Amino acid sequence: MAFYSEEDSGDDYLFKIVLLGDSGVGKSNLLARFARNEFYSNSKSTIGVEFQTQKMEINGKEVKAQIWDTAGQERFRAVTSAYYRGAVGALVVYDISRRQTFDSVGRWLHELHTHCDMNVVTILVGNKKDLKDAREVSTAEGKSLAESETLFFTETSALDSSNVNAAFQTIVKEIYDILSKKVIQSQELKKDPSVGSRKTVVLEANQEKKKEEQPKKAGCCSS
């Protein structure tokens, strides 16, 4: 998993996060709501790739989330796949009122893991929760899929802003926590070179612990 620091002091981190999902699930409006608190009722499908950078402060450190909005149309997949490289976080979005978009989640996860580190922090997002009368995918189904894939999970509404900030903040905070652990391990290695022989074991232990605990977090952002 790659992280980028814009300053040698480490006070400014840049995390690349990608938005994935079928066309029309509301990826662009989720980003617009988070980055500018805007919503476009007549927004057009994204062509190619666009991105926004949003600043956040975590534990006194300035973190920049560079969020890439990838086109969901099939004909653009070959173009956008190159932009997955270097991503440390992903929001896989489906529309709770269109089961077809939920059925596509597995394909998007496969594509993500084909182009990115398998440990990329991922949150499954059921968008358009405001469309209660048109719901085709239950919250329970979303949670179940998230648990089976060891993902975070939430349902959002870009229209009324429900859980939008929480979704992005959850993923950025998790990435930052992972980075912090890596920094601590690096510092320990410099103090005691013998730590190097144990480093892999420590990381694997953390990863196994995360696999056991992650399903419990699947509903962390749900309302």
pLDDT in tens, 101-152: 999 999 999 989 888 877 899 999 999 999 999 999 999 999 999 999 999 9
Residue 154's domain is classified under what CATH number? 3.40.50.300
Cβ neighbours, 10 Å, residue 69: 24
Whether 184 is covered by a domain: the verdict is no
Please compute the mean of the pLDDT values over residues 193-217 and round it to a whole number.
43
Whether 195 is covered by a domain: the verdict is no
Whether 185 is covered by a domain: the verdict is no
Whether 62 is covered by a domain: the verdict is yes
pLDDT of 184 reads 75
Q: Which domain holds residue 154?
A: 4-179+204-217
**Whether residue 18 has pLDDT greater than 50:** yes
pLDDT of 40 reads 78
Confidence of residue 78 (pLDDT cuts 50, 70, 90): low
Distances (CA, A) of 165 to 41, 56, 156, 192, 212: 19, 11, 9, 40, 26
In whole angstroms, what is the distance from residue 136 CA to residue 100 CA? 9
Q: Which of 57-71, 75-89, 132-146 has the lowest mean pLDDT?
A: 75-89
Whether 193 is covered by a domain: the verdict is no
Confidence of residue 191 (pLDDT cuts 50, 70, 90): low
For the chain, give the mean pLDDT.
79
Phi, psi torsion values for 104, nearest 5 degrees: -85, -10
pLDDT of 223 reads 54
Distances (CA, A) of 40 to 51, 81, 109, 163: 16, 26, 27, 18
Higher pLDDT, 69 or 91: 91
pLDDT of 34 reads 92
Whether 191 is covered by a domain: the verdict is no
Considering its fold, how many domains does the chain have in total? 1
pLDDT of 6 reads 43
Higher pLDDT, 70 or 20: 20
User: Of 45-49, 87-91, 187-191, which has the strongest mean pLDDT?
Assistant: 87-91
pLDDT of 196 reads 45
Phi, psi torsion values for 131, nearest 5 degrees: -85, 60
Q: What is the pTM of this model?
A: 0.77
Q: Which of 34-43, 44-53, 112-121, 132-141 has the lowest mean pLDDT?
A: 44-53
Q: How many CA atoms lie within 13 A of 174 on its CB side?
A: 23
pLDDT of 48 reads 58
Single out the residue of 99, 97, 115 nearest to residue 20, CA to CA.
Answer: 115
CA dihedral 221, 2, 54, 220 (to 10 degrees): 0
pLDDT of 5 reads 44
Q: What is the largest CA-CA distance in the chain?
A: 60
**Whether residue 183 has pLDDT greater than 70:** yes
Whether 61 is covered by a domain: the verdict is yes
Single out the residue of 19, 3, 13 nearest to residue 164, CA to CA.
Answer: 19
Whether 65 is covered by a domain: the verdict is yes
**Whether residue 33 has pLDDT greater than 70:** yes
